[in-house]
């Protein structure tokens, strides 16, 4: 593989991951998995834990479903997916219970409920069951990271306003985060309550929609400007291509007399166009 | 009220503008403000002024930043501020009204599109937000001020009280409804230790502006006379509360006592006259209004009896506000069409400056307005 091929490869794989994190963010764009989003984000650590657990399940189940995509009969694919997902959820549950019991306790019922998490089922159905293994793994990773990032963002905001702390808690016996003493008394308790979850979720969604609109508008303006430029440049490019082709043929000595004549014409046309400035007036005529 | 009402002609001109109506509401709120000062002193007045000031400021800033037409001039932010101030306990730290104003104006009102587009009453939303955010502060009600012995009560103005969320040295007093709730749990007579005259005049513990039934009734009657609010909403709300109280408490043996303590205690009257009647968040057609009122009464009594809280008016109004778009699907036939109901008094009168209001007119008014509208060619609005 040469450099360009590697670049293209990375670009393609990167876009699969970016699709999950930004373009099709499961929480804010696809609005999937809202129940765990609202229920487990009362603190940043809980949000992150939930997100990472779901990511693990998502990647593993995507890989296995993709491997078995030609074996699973179409009519019973959903039960098959659920069995595969449930296997990995059980794994995560046991691992968390053993190594991070505090997180296991605080996630409670929402940990086993990952089995029926819309995001995981949706990715199994929409992506893993029709795509190759490596791409499916990347899609699971992207979607999982998008889910984790969204949950962490909501969790940070809720924890800061609701309890006056940042990432406060313990993970596998290690104390994490800080408790801002000055804020503790003044914290707005509503943000830790379910009502606060809806509030932060809604406001963030509004903000993200606003920013997306802004971004799209800018993109449109840019695209329009580019189009105009392209129309102007278009004529020039055509001539360049003709010139290059002619040049190549000449060098390879394969060219017939007609070809040589054509090449000369192209060269002349380009030279004339570049010198007398008719290029701009010709621009876009034949487009 | 909605700013634009899309309807076919004929249109009727009315001198009613948002500003006029809001001015009427402010006048109607004045008796409650005066009663608040007489009962709790000047500190709650300061709180109310902070509410009003920051409501107007936030609306101004929001419009400025979002490059929208300034809407501060319609006085609705001032009304929201006063109602929010009257809804707070008499003594709260000074930043509580600021946060309340921020929530009421920016989140409950402006983010949804400003006046007429808010899904719930901004003041109610802010009160519930504060109640859930700082429950301790929002439920510590002080006893009425003793004007003959002011020296002991000057704690209202000390700096430590104004800025400390824990509010040391505060003499709290149980509200009549908390007392009633206790009596319900014990099975005793709820009216023992409660004086009906005190509750009518307002010398009881409670939210600063909600305690005096007398002052609220004066303001409410003013609004009814000026035809600012729909008389059906407070009437149906209060009546249904009375009826549902009688039904739900029929097995306690103290039905009469429960009815009058529930009528005069808490925020029922204030909510019924000033908050449930908000144009944007109450339904328009007569049938829908009656369903709305019954829903309010039912929810209030259910929350008062079965929840852990002793008061349910604000939650009831918030919940019915959310149901209002559904109730509005019960339609009145447009003016000029066949009447949907026997009551033909409902007129869609589009107001000047493109602001349209649903205004309740008497039959005579309607006819004269119609005549005027025909003279003008029926093209305004």
CA pair distance B20, B26, nearest whole angstrom: 10
- How many Å lie between the alpha carbon of A93 and the closest alpha carbon of chain B? 33
Closest residue by Cα to residue B213 from B273, B298, B303, B278: B273
pLDDT of residue B149 exceeding 70:
no
Q: Using CB atoms, pick whichever of B107, B132, B135 lies closest to residue A195.
A: B132
Contact A188 B166 (CB under 8 A): no
Q: Using CB atoms, pick whichever of A185, A199, A206 lies closest to residue B166.
A: A185
Kindly report, residue by residue over B41-52, the tens digit of the pLDDT: 888 898 999 999
Q: What is the pTM of this model?
A: 0.78
ipTM over 0.85: no
CA pair distance A35, A42, nearest whole angstrom: 13
State how far the alpha carbon of A8 is from the alpha carbons of A12, A16, A24, A56, A134, in Å: 6, 13, 21, 27, 16
Q: In chain B, which residue's Cα lies nearest the Cα of A186? A: B165
φ and ψ of A178, to 5 deg: -130, 145
Contact B99 A188 (CB under 8 A): yes
CA pair distance B60, B101, nearest whole angstrom: 12
The answer to whether B92 and B45 are in contact (CB under 8 A) is no
Contacts of A268 (CB under 8 A, 6+ apart): none
Q: Where are the alpha helices (DSSP H) in chain B?
A: 18-40, 43-65, 76-87, 95-102, 122-133, 135-138, 159-163, 176-186, 196-201, 213-225, 232-248, 255-264, 268-270, 286-306, 313-327, 363-375
DSSP one-letter code for B144? P
Q: Using CB atoms, pick whichever of B107, B111, B133 lies closest to residue A188.
A: B133
Closest residue by Cα to residue B334 from B322, B323, B348: B348
* Per-residue pLDDT, B362: 46
Which of A160, A162, A163, A188 should one mutate to test binding to chain B, selecting the residue with the greatest count of B CBs within 10 A? A188
Q: Using CB atoms, pick whichever of B107, B135, B166 lies closest to residue A189.
A: B135
Q: Using CB atoms, pick whichever of A190, A195, A206 lies closest to residue B111.
A: A206
Residues of A in contact with B99 (CB under 8 A): 188
Q: How would DSSP label each residue in B267-280?
A: THHHIIIIITT-GG
Q: Is B107 on the interface with A (CB under 8 A)?
A: yes
Q: Which residues pair with B346 in a beta bridge?
A: B360
Kindly report, residue by residue over B192-213, the tens digit of the pLDDT: 778 888 888 888 888 888 888 9
Kindly report, residue by residue over B218-254, the tens digit of the pLDDT: 999 999 999 889 899 999 999 999 999 999 988 888 8
* Per-residue pLDDT, B78: 94
CA pair distance A123, A132, nearest whole angstrom: 13
Contact B129 A190 (CB under 8 A): yes
Domain boundaries, chain A: 3-192, 194-287
Residues 113-132 of B with CB under 8 A from A: 129, 132
Q: Using CB atoms, pick whichever of B111, B132, B166 lies closest to residue A190.
A: B132
Max CA pair span of chain B: 68
Q: Which two tokens stand for residue B353?
A: 């400056």
Domains by residue range for chain B, with CATH? 18-327 (1.10.3430)
* Cβ neighbourhood burial of B148 (10 Å; 0-12, 13-18, 19+): exposed
Q: How confident is the model at residue B319 (pLDDT cuts 50, 70, 90)?
A: very high
φ and ψ of A167, to 5 deg: 50, 30
Residues of A in contact with B166 (CB under 8 A): 185
Contact A185 B107 (CB under 8 A): no
pLDDT of residue B165 exceeding 60:
yes
Q: In chain A, which residue's Cα lies nearest the Cα of B135? A: A189
Show pLDDT as tens, one digit a residue, over chain A (287 residues). 678 888 888 888 888 888 888 888 889 988 888 888 998 898 898 899 899 999 999 999 999 999 999 999 989 999 999 999 999 999 999 999 998 888 888 888 888 888 888 899 999 988 998 899 999 999 999 999 999 999 999 999 999 998 888 888 776 667 777 787 777 778 888 999 999 999 999 999 999 999 999 999 999 999 988 888 887 777 667 767 766 776 666 666 555 666 667 667 777 776 766 665 555 544 444 43
Residues of B in contact with A197 (CB under 8 A): none
Residues of B in contact with A188 (CB under 8 A): 99, 133-134
Residues 150-189 of A with CB under 8 A from B: 185-186, 188-189
Q: Is A206 on the interface with B (CB under 8 A)?
A: yes
State how far the alpha carbon of A39 is from the alpha carbons of A110, A162, B258, in Å: 8, 15, 39
- How many Å lie between the alpha carbon of A86 and the closest alpha carbon of chain B? 38
Closest residue by Cα to residue B83 from B52, B57, B113: B52
């Amino acid at each position: 593989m040469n450099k360009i091929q590697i670049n293209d490869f990375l670009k393609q794989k990167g876009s699969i991951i970016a699709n999950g994190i930004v373009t099709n963010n499961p929480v804010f764009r696809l609005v999937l998995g809202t129940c765990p989003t609202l229920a487990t984000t009362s603190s940043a650590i809980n949000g992150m834990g939930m997100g990472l657990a779901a990511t693990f399940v998502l990647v593993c189940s995507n890989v296995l479903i993709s491997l078995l995509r030609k074996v699973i009969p179409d009519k019973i694919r959903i039960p098959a997916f659920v069995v595969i997902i449930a296997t990995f959820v059980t794994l995560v549950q046991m691992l968390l219970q053993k190594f991070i019991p505090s997180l296991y306790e605080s996630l409670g019922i929402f940990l086993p409920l990952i089995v029926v998490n819309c995001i995981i089922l949706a990715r199994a159905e929409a992506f893993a069951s029709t795509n190759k293994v490596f791409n499916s793994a990347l899609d699971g990773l992207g979607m999982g990271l998008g889910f984790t990032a969204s949950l962490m963002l909501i969790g940070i905001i809720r924890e800061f306003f609701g309890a006056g702390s940042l990432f406060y808690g313990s993970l596998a016996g290690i104390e994490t985060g800080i408790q801002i003493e000055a804020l503790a008394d003044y914290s707005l308790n509503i943000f830790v309550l379910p009502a606060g979850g809806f509030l932060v979720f809604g406001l963030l969604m509004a903000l993200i929609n606003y920013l997306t609109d802004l971004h799209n508008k800018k993109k449109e303006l840019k695209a329009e400007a580019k189009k105009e430029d392209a129309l102007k440049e278009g004529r020039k490019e055509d001539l360049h291509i003709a010139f290059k082709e002619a040049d190549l043929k000449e060098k390879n000595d394969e060219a017939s007399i007609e070809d040589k004549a054509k090449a000369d014409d192209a060269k002349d046309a380009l030279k004339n166009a570049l010198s007398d400035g008719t290029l701009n007036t010709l621009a876009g005529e034949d487009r | 009220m909605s700013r634009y009402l899309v309807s076919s002609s004929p249109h009727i001109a009315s001198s009613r503008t948002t500003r006029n109506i809001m001015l009427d509401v402010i006048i109607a709120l004045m008796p409650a403000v005066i009663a608040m000062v007489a009962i709790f002193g000047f500190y709650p007045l300061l709180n109310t002024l902070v509410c009003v000031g920051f409501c107007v400021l936030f609306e101004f800033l929001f419009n400025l930043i979002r490059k929208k037409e300034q809407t501060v001039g319609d006085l609705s932010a001032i009304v929201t501020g006063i109602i929010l101030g009257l809804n707070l306990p008499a003594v709260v730290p000074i930043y509580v009204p600021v946060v309340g104003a921020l929530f009421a104006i920016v989140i409950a009102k402006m983010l949804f599109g400003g006046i007429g587009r808010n899904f719930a009453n901004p003041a109610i939303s802010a009160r519930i937000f504060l109640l859930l955010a700082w429950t301790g502060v929002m439920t510590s009600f002080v006893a009425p001020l003793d004007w003959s012995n002011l020296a002991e009560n000057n704690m209202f103005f000390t700096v430590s009280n104004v800025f400390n969320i824990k509010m040391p040295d505060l003499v709290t007093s149980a509200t009549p409804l908390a007392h009633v709730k206790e009596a319900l749990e014990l099975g005793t007579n709820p009216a023992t230790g409660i004086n009906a005259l005190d509750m009518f005049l307002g010398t009881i513990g409670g939210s600063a502006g909600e305690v005096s039934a007398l002052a609220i009734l004066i303001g409410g009657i003013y609004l009814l006379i000026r035809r600012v609010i729909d008389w059906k909403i407070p009437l149906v709300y209060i009546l249904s509360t009375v009826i549902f109280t009688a039904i739900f408490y029929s097995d306690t043996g103290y039905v009469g006592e429960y009815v009058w303590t529930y009528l005069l205690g808490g925020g029922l009257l204030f909510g019924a006259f000033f908050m449930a009647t908000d144009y944007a968040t109450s339904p328009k057609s007569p049938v829908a209004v009656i369903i709305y009122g019954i829903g309010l009464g039912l929810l209030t009594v259910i929350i008062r009896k079965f929840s852990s809280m002793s008061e349910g008016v604000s939650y009831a109004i918030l919940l019915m506000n959310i149901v209002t778009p559904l109730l509005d699907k019960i339609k009145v036939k447009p003016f000029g069409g066949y009447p949907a109901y026997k009551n033909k008094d409902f007129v869609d009168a589009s107001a000047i400056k493109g602001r349209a209001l649903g205004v309740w007119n008497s039959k005579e008014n309607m006819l004269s307005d119609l005549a005027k509208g025909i003279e003008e060619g029926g093209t305004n609005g």
